[in-house]
Structure 1
Amino acid sequence: MSQYRNLTDDEIRRLEASGCSASSWSDVSVAEEFRTEQLAACRLEGRVRIGRDARIYRSRVCNYDIGEESLVADVSALECRHASSFGNGVAVATMNECGGRTVKIFTALSAQTAYLAALYRHRPQLVAALDRMAEREAERARSEVGRVGRRCRITGCRLLREVNVGDEVQLDGVSLLENGTLCDGARAGIDVKARDFIAAEEARLDNGVIVERCFVGECCRLDKAYSATDALFFASSHCENGEAAAIFAGPFTVSHHRSSLLIAGMFSFFNAGSGTNQSNHLFKSGAVHQAVHLRGCKFASDAYVMSPALEGAFTMVMGHHTHHHDTSDFPFSYLIEKEGRSVLMPGANLASYGTVRDIEKWPTRDHRTRRRDVVNFEPFNPYLTEAMLHAVDTLHTLADGEPDAPFYNYRKTVIRQTALRRGITLYNKAIAAALGAMLERGGAPLEAALEEPGHWLDVAGAYIPRSEVEALCDAVERGELTDPREIDDRFRDFARRYDDQAHRWALSIYARLLGHLPSEEEIAEAVRGGHNAREALREMTDADRARDCSPDKAVGYGLDGGEEERLLDYRAVRGLD
């Protein structure tokens, strides 16, 4: 670590000759190796400390430590005007515009801790404890002097006020940053305006983004004039052009279109089509309603949902839906509008190649290095399998109640009989595939089959039993866990044990389906059956892909040629063999 010293009289004379000035040179300290060429035409005010090889050119700096090998050039003001926590402790009104689910942000915030703070309001002692943790993080960060880390590049910016900057951060052409923190490797670019914010490791804000009271998580990207207020973004989310207000954007939330609005809701592994909108217009009691779109939901162009509403995991939503549906019992479904009604096609998304493509692409796009958020990409897991088992029971109950009915009403949706029967078939295949996959991985004694299966959750990307989450919450309330990093460690510890726990759960479910304790031979048969079921599902999705890649889709290709040129052009552009 560099040793710091005051400037010599000779250095001060040379600095003033190069256009530098200071409110008090005695408040300026420099690394032992300091050379006067490191400063030119700059104004230093208050306490300023300059690290080894750090450079300041044509900029005003007030109350800042500039880390070694960092550059500050052509900056109108880099100033810390008063004591600040630099965005730590800012209250973000996520999901509920009136503040009913407010989360206090800090640099070490994970998706899982934020989930507990936002969703577990029924446990006020837990929420209070989490708030205290956030307040302690804010107090630790509090200082009257701002910090720029090592090897940073801050150029062509206007106003940077009460902003802490980690190592290897780049700020270029920023208009305004105020009361915030940019963690290691973060980027902010042209015309960005951000207030009361934290940008986690490798986050990127660029091209006219406007952010207020937001947490932008690790490797998240907000770009192309995106506007976000009271929003939390986690793990590689990527939003451009549109707008977000009061949202909890779990891992891999994506919105790329100018006309899309994400508002008052929770998202995770989500994709918003052009014109996507979720309104919160039932203002009889104010903007208090919310929508939850569980993992993997996708909205087609111009899809609209009026809050409150809830969709099951991996649901494709098309059309307008204003009846406040709840399809959480039916993952992998289509929800479409027909004649003003919300028509549900249970399990239909299991036959879509788009679902396979989404599930396979997410791990390849995870470029995080810090990995504070726990993210489980496993497609065959207890959470989704439990939902599918419940879906099959529900569909059988509906069919048994009215065997000859042409359609069934369920939680503000309509399920046609043909869709119901196909849903049962698809779900049963997927259940067999999932149980076989879980029984093939991990390990547990056969006696685990006698255990109660237990309910599993998807906590902002982490699959975990509810019992584990409740035990963690109890520990927080008892004061056994007092640091957010300890909470993260609990989630990470379970993630390491996930395969074994999923195996135990699958054993107990399989025993109930059989009606007896399974033998090793029966387990081996379930594993083989799982392989067969996965192959059958893959055949369906591959057939769906083949339809999407068929010559019928070559319309508009090979414009200046005949049929042969059309197909050659189509295959070349689509990358087809």
Structure 2
Amino acid sequence: MNKIQKKPLSALGYNFIETPLPKGKDEYYLRNEQWSRKDQYRKLTAYEVEALVRNDNTSDDWNTIFVSEEFNPQLVQHCHFYGMVRIGKLEPYYLEFHNLRLPVGLYNSTICACDFGDNVVVHNVNYLSHYILGNEVIIANVNEMATTDYAKFGNGIVKEAESENGRIWLELCNENGGRRVMPFDGMLPGDAYLWTRNRDDEQLQQQFKSFTEKQFDKKRGYYGMVGDRCVIKNCKIIKDVTIGSDAYLKGANKLKNLTINSSMEASSQIGEGCELVNGIIGYGCRVFYGVKAVRFIMASHSQLKYGARLINSYLGSNATISCCEVLNSLIFPAHEQHHNNSFLCAALIMGQSNMAAGATIGSNHNSRGADGEVIAGRGFWPGLCVSLKHNSNFASFTLISKGNYMSELNIPIPFSLVVNDEHDNRLKVMPGYWFLYNMYAIARNSWKYVDRDKRIDKTQQIEYDYLAPDSVEEMFNALSIMELATGNAWYALAENASKKALTEKDIRKKGKELLLNNPEEVAKLTILVKGFENSSREVQLLKVHKAYPLFRELIVFYGIRNILAANKPSFLALQAAVKNAKRSNWQNVGGQLMKSETVEQLKSKIKKNRISSWNQLHDQYVEIGEEYAAEKLQHAVASMMEIKDVAIKNLSPELLSAWLTESINTMEWLTAQIKRSREKDYINPFRQMTYQSTKEMDAVIGKLEDNSFINQTATELEEYKNNIQKTIQEWEL
């Protein structure tokens, strides 16, 4: 049975706060704290009351209607007022936005206990209750827009006298809620990452909960806010939503328990048919065309559109989900997911990722419990109709070829192509695929993510370069895997079988020797690995003889490039900066790379209460970001020296000069690969066959020689050469 309560009409608009009020406070005390202009209003004059009545307005008590000095009663018509209402300046103008032209004033609306800034437009709002509107706000044709006294605006808190059962949680990374977090306005992907990990550290988990509780008070009675110049039109239900300035909401079906961040510099928009419940929307976000989102956070400048579904998930900044479904996932910045049947569930996706049509990540429901988890490093790219099984783990920049992968995968080699070869009944992995065959895509992606990073608040310094501490550490691991696998393959041949017991060190040594000195012999071997797939079938590494030297060359290039980027004044200054350089493990903390020891220090400070709030943790992100260039330089030089097998103390001007010159060859090769991989799309006859002529093809897709990115890389190559020569001369190497 629906519980319909019947109360006196005289109570409508009053007694907003249902819990006992603090001593000496009335029900408006929080409202007055929110509205700085509360002292700029006066009571109505007798003439104004008469004019309002003549214009078919009603009020339960005209003494509770307050107005500014520039109030014009002729611009209020056919409205019903309940409770205390404060109205700002109303002047005989009309406001126009996107061809919508409406006169300033309040018309045909029922208004309960609201405050209005100057020159607002309120037309045909069936029920507007407990809201504070800024200046030049337009609200037209809205069925219901109300705030409750227990409104939390999407934050994972409970108010006075509320049950803990009413708290909103985000069940990230796992369907059974084992990694759930309490959402809050301002949550960064690094916060979500640290909170969802470390579940065995109860003290740390309790601190994160405490941070969130302290961020918000539990008092009831806060009003919904609508910032200056917002436009809200043709919406049905808006309940417990606070909205920043310059937002644009049109045609939404239901918006409930939300914070919509928006500003002059980064306005947010919500469009037709959307239903959004229990969420935080960041600055500059776009949500359009039938989107459904429940228990979610959208970081700044992210987009949901064309029927996308986002449930129990965090979507990082500068990301787009279109037509797809995402559940229980934590997604770092720069994620792309399009096409109607892309599905992502119970995953940690570490950014710069792209989901192709038909990809299905998770939701097997064929085990004894809820789905497990998928963890994918930066640059994750499951191809067309890929189906993956939980649990799986992927190194950075893994491309998965079309196929149904029936078993759990653990792919520790970055920049790999993964192929499910059903004909040979083998899983095949090609290390270095991106560099060998699709350099254009990986180079352009790194560039475009920097170019498209529209964040205003860059508290977390996001790494977009494909050669960075995380991927380079994975490359070192890949080198050891390739050495061991090559050694095993060589010793597996009857003529090479050794009678003595071989240690893993012996096998790796032989593999390294072959890979460095006899790549032709390695090319003839069938190189198998274990631990990549949870099955009994074989897993084969492809083109190891090409990938191994390429990884080594790129690690050296990573070192040289960071030396140049450091822009040190002399060789001695470089020596001083890297004298204690060493390799170490790194973590991707919400897109910001940190040394593992730095992450451990952060956790220790949190537990010792030296970091006692989210704001203080965010300040730490900034400090860590300021040190990143120096720490990355040390890691890059240490990595280069390890590949060259030279101790840091033995780095000499002569060696560095030689390596600087050698790096030009690497840069030339990468630049050529960028053009070569794109050129294939022009010379492939199957790509040409839909065009009647080369001229038509150029008209449709553009000429290769006009490709701006390729031309840009050619320019960068010349700049790189000049920079190398300049460094050698200035440092007198």
Take 2:452 and 2:240, find their aligned partners in 1: how far apart are those partners? 33
The aligned counterpart of 1:574 is: 701
Structure-to-structure mapping, 1:81-480, within 5 angstroms = 81-89=148-156, 90-139=168-217, 143-184=221-262, 185-267=267-349, 268-281=351-364, 284-318=367-401, 319-327=403-411, 329-339=412-422, 340-351=425-436, 352=438, 353-403=440-490, 404=493, 406-413=526-533, 415-416=539-540, 418-442=542-566, 445-446=575-576, 448-480=578-610
**Counterparts in 2 of 1:146 and 1:17: CA distance versus 1, 3 Å:** farther
Take 1:97 and 1:32, find their aligned partners in 2: how far apart are those partners? 57
Q: Percent identity?
A: 19
Is 1:11 aligned to 2:48, yes or no?
A: yes
Take 2:235 and 2:663, find their aligned partners in 1: how far apart are those partners? 57
**Counterparts in 2 of 1:417 and 1:315: CA distance versus 1, 3 Å:** closer
Tell me the number of residue pairs that the alignment of Structure 1 and Structure 2 aligns.
569
The structure where strand makes up a greater share of residues is: 1
The aligned counterpart of 1:562 is: none
TM-score by length of 1: 0.93
Q: CA deviation at 1:85?
A: 1.3
Of 112, 119, 123, which residue of structure 2 is paired with 1:57? 123
Contact kept in structure 1, 2:380 and 2:398, CA below 8 Å: yes
**Counterparts in 2 of 1:520 and 1:571: CA distance versus 1, 3 Å:** same
Contact kept in structure 1, 2:115 and 2:132, CA below 8 Å: yes
Q: Secondary structure at the match of 2:694?
A: helix
Of 510, 513, 519, which residue of structure 1 is paired with 2:640? 510
The aligned counterpart of 2:146 is: 79
Consecutive unaligned residues of structure 1, counting only runs of 5 or more, are: 560-565
Q: CA deviation at 1:348?
A: 1.1
The aligned counterpart of 1:39 is: 106
Q: CA deviation at 1:488?
A: 1.8
Q: CA deviation at 1:482?
A: 1.8
Q: CA deviation at 1:527?
A: 3.3
Contact kept in structure 2, 1:446 and 1:507, CA below 8 Å: no
Q: Secondary structure at the match of 1:369?
A: coil
Amino acid at match of 1:326: N
Take 1:97 and 1:25, find their aligned partners in 2: how far apart are those partners? 54
Q: Which has the higher contact order (CA 8 A, sep 6+)?
A: 1
TM-score by length of 2: 0.74
Amino acid at match of 1:120: N
Residue-by-residue CA offset, 1:87-125 (whole Å, 9 max, x unaligned) = 011310011011111121111111111111112323322
Take 1:202 and 1:363, find their aligned partners in 2: how far apart are those partners? 17
Take 1:274 and 1:508, find their aligned partners in 2: how far apart are those partners? 41
Structure 1, 436-445 or 468-477: larger mean CA deviation? 436-445
Q: Secondary structure at the match of 1:213?
A: strand
Contact kept in structure 2, 1:449 and 1:509, CA below 8 Å: no
**Counterparts in 2 of 1:27 and 1:472: CA distance versus 1, 3 Å:** farther
**Counterparts in 2 of 1:71 and 1:537: CA distance versus 1, 3 Å:** same
Structure 1, 545-554 or 215-224: larger mean CA deviation? 545-554
Take 1:12 and 1:108, find their aligned partners in 2: how far apart are those partners? 44
Q: CA deviation at 1:79?
A: 0.2
Amino acid at match of 1:39: L
Q: Secondary structure at the match of 2:610?
A: coil
Contact kept in structure 2, 1:439 and 1:503, CA below 8 Å: yes
Contact kept in structure 2, 1:79 and 1:160, CA below 8 Å: yes
